[in-house]
Amino acid sequence: MLGRKTFTTDEIENARTTVAAQVAALRGAAAPDEPALANALLLALDRRFVHRIRNVSGKDTNPVTEVELLAESLLDHDGVLTPNKVIRYQPERSVLGLAPGDAVSLDADAFERLADAFLAELAVRFADTAA
């Protein structure tokens, strides 16, 4: 699939509904598994919108680029937040406030905050105004 400049309102709303159900299930899960499950949910959220393009998502610290960095850190850096050369990551501007070198180990509250911010920012930056 080619990179995408827009996502439909239905795609974003479907993700919101799914995230709400996932957070409810996560809160009902056994506590020792919470970080592993929350991190997996973050990867699933990123995957839904993985074809977003850079000139729309930006290079600044925003929830869309934060999710990208966290997902990349989980997949490629053993769960340690590792900035890349493209995104100008500033912890103080991020949703979770993680610093480079911090472990990415989310709980239900952190995942919910980040997912809500990600979907809100996605709706602003990638809104399909033709629909």
Instruction: Examine the pLDDT at 131 and tell me if it is beyond 60.
Output: no
pLDDT at residue 28, as a whole number: 82
The verdict on residue 116 lying in a domain is yes
The verdict on residue 77 lying in a domain is yes
CB–CB of 70/110 below 8 Å? no
Q: What is the overall mean pLDDT for the chain? A: 94
Residue-wise pLDDT for 65-117, tens only, equals 999 999 999 999 999 999 999 999 999 999 999 999 999 999 999 999 999 99
The verdict on residue 90 lying in a domain is yes
Q: Is the dihedral of CA 51, 2, 77, 102 positive or negative?
A: negative
The verdict on residue 83 lying in a domain is yes
pTM of whole model > 0.95?
no
- How many alpha carbons lie under 13 Å from residue 96 in its C-beta half-sphere? 29
Residue 25 domain boundaries? 9-125
The verdict on residue 54 lying in a domain is yes
The verdict on residue 2 lying in a domain is no
Instruction: Report the alpha-carbon distance of residue 120 to residue 108 in Å, rounded.
Output: 18
The verdict on residue 1 lying in a domain is no
The verdict on residue 13 lying in a domain is yes
State CA 45 to chain mean position distance.
Answer: 6
Number of domains the chain is built from: 1
* 3-class SS of residue 51: coil
pLDDT at residue 7, as a whole number: 96
